[in-house]
Amino acid sequence: MIYVEDKNLVIPGQILADDDYYPGRGTFKENGKVCSSLIGLVSLRNKKIRVIPLKSKYVPKKGDVVIGKINDVRFSMWDVDINSPYSGILPAFEVFGRDKKELNKVYDVGDVLFLRVIDVDEVKKAKLGLKGRGLGKFKGGIIVDISPTKVPRLIGKKGSMINMIKNKTNCKIVVGQNGLVWVKGNEDMEQLTREIIHTIEAEAHTSGLTNKIKNKLCLAIDGELPVEETEEEFVLEKPKLQNFKEELEQEEREKAEAEKEMQAESEVEQDSEIETEEEADAEEDIEAEASEEKDTGDKPNFYDVIEELKKKSQSRKDKNLSYSDKSNNNSFILNNR
Amino acid sequence: MSEMIREDGRKYNELRPIKIEAGVLERADGSAYLEVGGNKILVAVYGPRESYIRRLLEPNTGVIRCRYNMAPFSVDDRKRPGPDRRSSEISKITADALRPALMLENYPRSMVDIYIEVIEAEGGTRCAGITAASVALVDAGVPMKDIVVGCAAGKVNDEVVLDLSEVEDKEGQADVPIAIMPRTGEITLLQSDGDLTEEEFQKAIDLAMEGCMKVSELQKEALMKKYSTE
Amino acid sequence: MDIVPEITRESITSLISNDKREDGRALDEYRDISIETDVISKAEGSARVKIGGTQVIVGIKPQLGSPFPDTPDLGVLMTNCEMLPMADPTFEPGPPGDDSIELARVVDRGIRESELVDLDKLCVEEGKHVWMLFIDLHIIDNCGNLFDAAELAVMAALKSTKLPTASVVDDEVVIDKENTFDLPINNEVAMCTFVKIGDKMVLDPTLSEQRVAKARLNVGVTKEGRICAMQKGGQQPLTKEDIFSAVNTAISKTKELVEYL
């Protein structure tokens, strides 16, 4: 006997089914009943019930890719904040083998890295590594943080959401499973992308989100809603640079990035293989949360480490960026007597 | 049970008006605001998070820490800021009342902090605090077996009544605050203060549990309201 | 202490140098502001103020006490601030720390030095009994710029304060809670807080701007545009020009802020 339907919003302690159903993640069995342990959405697969949480803290898992911040440099390792109740360590050995180097010359406090969880010990401390190209230190860009449970939604079915944002904003985007997202592009586009990501986070469980985001992007960037699928025309206009030195630096940066990306490109494939299991999981989440994108098929193009470098430096001057969503409606009312 | 009308016009089994709202603060991982009668309670939850207080941590599960605090302006005569014996006791029993519902096995060596701020007090703040704290815990995404809810019954003018107001608490003969896990009816908080016969005590528990069930529905509504999309 | 990621520091600094901000505001623009008064019925005066996500509640309670010997005919103001651990993951429970005390004192200075509370009307019996007003600031959500939110909240709460009448009968003070009078207020004051990022002064900093900045300036201004309190904070110096331009902005912004009261 089952008491809920797929995608129902449920709360902790709510009875979901009798014990002819199997308790999956986010549920527990007590006195012959399957109950929810979280606030979240029901996901039904045959006779297995899961609850996809609306909010949750990231707990490190072996094989995950995460974005972390160096919090401390120690004798033979770095302490890394991975946006979790559990901190990570990056052993010096993982970075330069048996060589002896000064750690803080390589990565210093405040640096932000893209890392892989190579192991998790019994107290959940995560051992991190940088093996695999595409992993490493971020230069420039911004960090956006979202609830880790919204990561699959941000990526979208087969990477549809994240790719759309990348194409439209010309930003490079890297998503860590711990809910941190790195975005790099034109300054205004970075800010627009931040806003878009937060919108996706806030409205992750609503339907028709991809279209909504598409409209929002088009409105902000082109100043109008998308008519149909047409080739985008780019107005090629260099942003005004303030002085020569800056211009030089920018060129240098772009060159360095280009190299890095060339490297990283060959890498994406490899990555997606390792991730298969997690993807399958994430895909389920996506399905549970977004029915409007019900095409099955390939695995989502997860953690797109980096995108090809095509029309990037020709970023356009800021059009009318709208920051309309800065409202916070945390209005609890203190009664006025 | 008589149809006695109480000082504020309520029936013996009637609650004061209640309002609950989930997710009212920006920074906290979870939060809730609750008004019952003249009480105004704000709760924030942080965690599960890493804690540097080593001696508090447990190797196999997460721990909770609770702080109940009254604002200096929450009562008629200004209260000196900071903890006192009463608030320390309430902090402790609140943590004990909530803990049985929490499933922190997946968060060993972590800590969940619950901060209950009484912005305005009008009798029954400990139960109100527990009720609001549970909503804030759900809002924070902490895994739980049930949503704990608190409510008090007591004795006023030799009658057992539900949810004492400040005046009734002062003038009444007994106050029995409880908290339960509504799905199973298990009791996670019980205090009794005053003079009761065994029969009156049983009556008080039954009445308080009835009250808890009603408040429980309002907790659920508040959460549904915050998170449903339709 | 929370470490600011290096790339966040760079991106915020770069935005500010282009006169832009993460939330799209101008450098001299406030976030949305809302003020509610009389939010606590048990307090004689109260207010809740939000600036963006920052939220502050203030309650004012009067108590009869003895005046200071050097001002026997004046009432007493006491400002206390609790940075509640609920407001920020880095705030710890416990007695007020340095930041909390600084906040309370700077806010207090704005109120005190503008002489907006008519303290001689708080005297019940010269040399013996005066009203002491306890202004308790509760910080409940910290999204940056607590100073300006706190000053607005205190100002709004003072304006809403009603005191019981007290009289001396046979050498004893009789308090009549039924008959109240409005706390006499004869001015309005607001505070404008700036942080210096790169070489720009930025008004109403968000939390991340605050963390990136190394210098802060609070400017308390009355509605007539007179400076009544200032405080420089943070480990970096400011230039005279920084300060003058901030003061100039503060004087014009104060006119906007007092409109909310």
Q: Where exactly are the structural domains of chain B?
A: 18-224
Q: What's the CA gap between B32 and B25, in Å, rounded?
A: 8
Interface of C with B in 128-157 (CB under 8 A): 134, 136, 138, 140-143
Q: Is C63 on the interface with B (CB under 8 A)?
A: yes
Give the per-residue pLDDT at A229. Answer: 52
**Joined tokens for residue C46:** 């109260």
CA angle A124-A130-A134, nearest 5°? Answer: 125
Q: Which chain A residue has the Cα nearest residue B19?
A: A333
Work out the minimum CA distance from A23 to partner chain B, whole angstroms: 13
Q: What average pLDDT does chain A have?
A: 75
Residue C97 near chain B (CB below 8 Å)? no
Which among C238, C220, C236, C237 has a CA at the least distance from the CA of C228?
A: C220
Q: What is the C-alpha radius of gyration for chain B, rounded to an integer number of angstroms?
A: 17
DSSP assigned state of B69: E
Does a structural domain hold residue C228?
yes
Of A13, A55, A56, the CB nearest to B146: A13
Q: pLDDT tier at A317 (50, 70, 90 boundaries)? A: very low
Residues ≥6 apart with Cβ < 8 Å to B6 = B12, B14, B156, B161, B168
Domains of chain A, first to last: 9-53 (2.40.50.100), 65-137 (2.40.50.140), 142-289 (3.30.1370.10)
Kind plus residue range of the DSSP H or E element containing C80:
strand C76-83
- Confidence class of residue A133 from pLDDT cuts 50, 70 and 90? confident
A39:B25 CB<8 A: no
Query: What CATH number is given to the structural domain containing C200?
Result: 3.30.230.70
Q: Are the beta carbons of A13 and B183 separated by less than 8 Å? A: yes
Q: What percent of chain A has pLDDT over 70?
A: 67
Say yes or no to pLDDT of A303 above 80.
Answer: no
How confident is the model at residue A282, as a pLDDT?
Answer: 41
Contacting B residues, span 24-63, partner chain A, CB-CB under 8 Å: 24-26, 29-30, 33, 35, 40, 42, 47-50, 59, 62
From C3, C9, C31, residue closest to A71, measured CB to CB: C3
pLDDT for the residue numbered B192: 95
- Over its length of 261 residues, how does chain C's per-residue pLDDT go in tens digits? 578 999 999 999 999 999 999 999 999 999 999 999 999 999 999 999 999 999 999 999 999 999 999 999 999 999 999 999 999 999 999 999 999 999 999 999 999 999 999 999 999 999 999 999 999 999 999 999 999 999 999 999 999 999 999 988 888 889 998 899 999 999 999 999 999 999 999 999 999 999 999 899 999 999 999 999 999 999 999 999 999 999 999 999 999 999 998
Which of B46, B78, B81 lies closest to C89 in CB terms? B46
Residues in chain A within 8 Å Cβ distance of B184? 31
**Alpha-helical regions (H) of chain A:** 92-96, 103-106, 151-155, 160-169, 187-202, 209-221, 244-274, 276-289
pLDDT of residue A78: 94
Rounded distance between C-alpha atoms, residue A133 and residue A126, angstroms: 20
> What confidence score (pLDDT) does residue C172 get?
87
Touching A: B residues 95-154, CB under 8 Å:
101, 103, 106-110, 119, 138-141, 143-147
Q: How far apart are CA C243 and CA C239, in angstroms?
A: 6
pLDDT for position B149: 98
Among A8, A141, A332, smallest CA distance to B135 is for A332
Residue C245, in any domain of the structure: yes
Report which of A60, A63, A38, A62 is spatially closest to residue A51, judged by C-alpha positions: A38
In a domain, C1, yes or no: no
CA-closest candidate to residue A257, choices A176, A182, A162, A161: A182
The answer as to whether C64 is a domain residue is yes
Higher pLDDT, A133 or A313: A133
Contact B111, B53 (CB under 8 A): yes
Q: C interface mutation test: which of B78, B79, B113, B117 has the most C CBs within 10 A?
A: B78
Asked if A191's CB is within 8 angstroms of C32's CB, the reply is no
Residue of B nearest to C133 (CA): B78
Domain that holds residue C183: 6-259
DSSP helix/strand/coil, B51? coil
Nearest CA in chain A to C17: A242
CB atoms within 10 A of CB B49: 17
Nearest residue of chain A to residue B101 (CA atoms): A13
Minimal CA separation from B34 to chain A, in Å: 9
Q: Which pLDDT does position B55 carry in this prediction?
A: 86
pLDDT for residue C37: 96
Half-sphere exposure of B181 (CA within 13 A, CB side): 17
Cα–Cα dist A318/A297, whole Å: 37
- Residues of A within 8 A of C53 (CB-CB) are 328, 330
What's the CA gap between A68 and A90, in Å, rounded?
Answer: 10
- The confidence score (pLDDT) of residue A276 equals 34
What pLDDT shows up at residue B59?
87
Q: Say if C168 falls within a structural domain.
A: yes
CB distance from A337 to chain C under 8 Å? yes
Q: Under an 8 A CB cutoff, do C24 and A321 touch?
A: yes
Helices A160-169, A209-221: inter-axial angle, 10-degree rounding: 0
Which CATH fold would you assign to the domain B18-224?
Ribosomal Protein S5; domain 2 (3.30.230)
A30 and B223 within 8 Å at the Cβ level: the answer is: no
- The partner residues of C219 in beta bridges, in order of sequence, read C192, C230
Q: What is the pLDDT of residues A218-231, one digit of tens each?
A: 888 888 777 655 44
* Residue C188 lies inside a defined structural domain of this protein: yes
B5/A260: higher pLDDT:
B5
Of all helices (H) and strands (E), which one includes residue C210? Answer: helix C207-212
Q: Are C243 and C215 in contact (CB under 8 A)?
A: no
Using an 8 Å Cβ cutoff, are C108 and C116 in contact? Answer: no
Under an 8 A CB cutoff, do B144 and A9 touch?
no
A55:B29 CB<8 A: yes
What residues of A are in contact with residue C204 (Cβ under 8 Å)? none
What's the predicted TM-score (pTM) here?
A: 0.86
- Residue whose C-alpha is closest to residue A116's, from A308, A306, A303: A303
- What are chain C's partners, defined as 3 or more CB pairs within 8 angstroms? A, B
Best to test chain A binding among B18, B50, B221 (most A CBs inside 10 Å) = B50
> Could you give the ipTM of this predicted complex?
0.93
The series of mean pLDDT values per 10 residues for chain B, 230 residues long, is 76 96 97 97 95 85 96 95 94 97 94 97 97 98 97 95 95 96 97 95 97 97 86
Residue B34: which residues within 8 A CB-CB, separation 6 or more? B18, B19, B20, B21, B40, B41, B43, B128, B131, B132, B135
Residue A247 CB neighbours (<10 A): 12
Contacts 24+ apart (CB under 8 A), A271-277: A271/A65, A271/A132, A271/A134, A271/A302, A271/A303, A271/A305, A272/A299, A272/A301, A272/A302, A272/A303, A274/A63, A275/A63, A275/A65, A275/A302, A275/A303, A277/A63
CA distance C76 to B181: 49
Take residue B215 and report the two structure tokens written for it. 């408040």
Number of domains in chain C: 1
Q: Which of B26, B67, B76 sits opposite C141 (nearest CB)?
A: B26
| Chain segment A135-164, per-residue pLDDT in tens | 999 999 999 999 999 999 999 988 999 999
